[in-house]
Structure 1
């Protein structure tokens, strides 16, 4: 196992370099750059920008440098100094902008994941153990409904119902009175009171999907010979279900842990925009729309690195969870 881990870590070095290059190429693909978008925005508002000022900005940010030189400056700053560059639009270091919103994104994503697992696993086990029962059909209908309805539509529905029925808005993660306040117990409780609605909205589709996957995997395990043998030996049904088939049916969940780390950073962009959540998702979308290449590139690079690390983590967890899997 140690040799396998070392080999995978060594493979990650050229993989990360290739990913960083592709990320930078993707950001540079749209025509123009941030200053082009900035000038177009000012022109739409009836304002003009002095050409001398534009030339000075281009020289300051190195926008006229060759592509490879821009990439080398960017990646060398990240590798040697942990410097992701400066955001054109915000005028602040990229790392400061990302870390400023990272805490709320991680808290919201972790809460959503735990809620999703806590609901989906028991329902999936019940549906498989009671196949074709009334409860199975009911949960199947709800699962398809959860997969079919877009998350942003649910967010709009929650906003309308909360305002129409209770006269209050569920947008944002912090009440106005705590917006500029320092972190204390009151602000933490206020944030928690605002997070349950985004958690339900974001987790609904994931719950429906995991529920169906768990049901299908467990049904497949229940038809295998070892289950028939355990029943023939007189093992009780609840003990048989939990001890063997459920454990084997959990393996696909472990294998998808590679997507957990990037999900913690990216969040649900559309839901965050509709509910005015100050997470990293809307910031990533805005950086892509404004061609803020250092901010967008930093986001994409972090998500890509976390995906590679998460894949390695899921492989190791799968080998630990399932004794049938071994790496040579």
Structure 2
């Protein structure tokens, strides 16, 4: 096990290097850079830009150098904890992310707990009571949850909240707490606003996860070892929970590789519609404005979480399912 983990960690190094090259290339592909986009935006507004100041900024941050040189400086800076400077926000990337990072983690983590808390009992009930009225009803609701996009549900909730209650749904806190340090009142305001994006984002995830759990559990319940356990007189609850449910959870563990980066990125479109103070809208804005250091560092962080998540899921799968082995035995 230890040797496997060490080999996987060593494989992460060239993987992240290749990903960093791809990220840098993709961010650099659009013509021009942030400064050119900024000048064009000022001209569209009828304002004049200080070209001398812009040239000084280009020289200061290496935009007058070839792309390979800038790539090396960017990677070496990240290794030392320097993720560069955000030109859009006029501050270092580490300070730009700030509160948005932990707010995104809170929303995503609560959404994952909400999804699992609903998906497990729904999937278990549907599998053990196949073709019952409850199964049909939950299946219909699940398909509706999968079919309706997040952003459409957000718009519907915003409309009915305004019509029925006269309230405006948006933000993760009351407006007076924006850009304010954390306090008890701000924390309570976040908790009061948190349930809205959690329900919207978690609905489709709950439906999809419950359907997968139902399908996997039905496949396990029809296998010979379950029939043997029933023939020996084991109770239906123990027969279902001891082995079939455990084997049906493999896909939950394998999803860790995608869950970790989703905790940071969040549901971008829903966050834009609800004006959430998360990192998703900031990433989209950085890509649109070609804020290279902010967008590139953010994408690299997501790639790092993905690689770590895949490693954790592979190790957890071997502990959950004894049929999975990290390496095959040598054949004689």
| Distance change (3 Å), C-alpha of 1:275 and 1:66 | same
Shift of 1:62: 1.7
Distance 1:173 1:50 in 2: 37
| Paired position in structure 2 for 1:203 | 202
Deviates more, 1:173-182 or 1:233-242: 173-182
| Paired position in structure 1 for 2:21 | 21
| Paired position in structure 2 for 1:87 | 86
| Paired position in structure 2 for 1:48 | 48
Shift of 1:180: 5.0
Distance 1:122 1:297 in 2: 40
Q: How does 1:268-287 map to 2 (within 5 A)?
A: 268-287=267-286
Shift of 1:183: 2.4
Q: TM-score, normalised by structure 1?
A: 0.97
| Paired position in structure 1 for 2:297 | 298
| Paired position in structure 1 for 2:75 | 75
Q: How does 1:1-328 map to 2 (within 5 A)?
A: 1-79=1-79, 81-179=80-178, 181-328=180-327
Shift of 1:182: 3.6
| Distance change (3 Å), C-alpha of 1:181 and 1:51 | closer
The alignment partner of 2:46 has SS state of coil
Distance 2:168 2:313 in 1: 39
Aligned residues: 327
TM superposition outliers: structure 1 runs of 4+ over 4 Å: none
Deviates more, 1:259-268 or 1:169-178: 169-178
The alignment partner of 1:168 has SS state of coil
Distance 1:128 1:229 in 2: 19
Shift of 1:242: 1.1
Shift of 1:126: 0.8
Aligned-residue CA RMSD (Å): 1.2
Shift of 1:110: 0.4
Distance 1:84 1:178 in 2: 28
Give per-residue Cα distances to partners, 1:92-130, cap 9 Å, x unaligned. 111111233111000100000000000011101111111
Shift of 1:262: 0.4
Distance 2:35 2:12 in 1: 35
The runs of 5 or more residues in structure 2 that have no matched partner are 328-332
Shift of 1:196: 0.5
Shift of 1:176: 2.6
Distance 1:176 1:256 in 2: 36
Distance 1:66 1:103 in 2: 36
Distance 1:306 1:135 in 2: 38
Give per-residue Cα distances to partners, 1:229-258, cap 9 Å, x unaligned. 011111111121111211110111111111
Distance 1:108 1:262 in 2: 13
Distance 2:175 2:199 in 1: 23
Distance 2:109 2:207 in 1: 17
Shift of 1:50: 4.0
Distance 2:311 2:68 in 1: 30
Shift of 1:215: 0.6
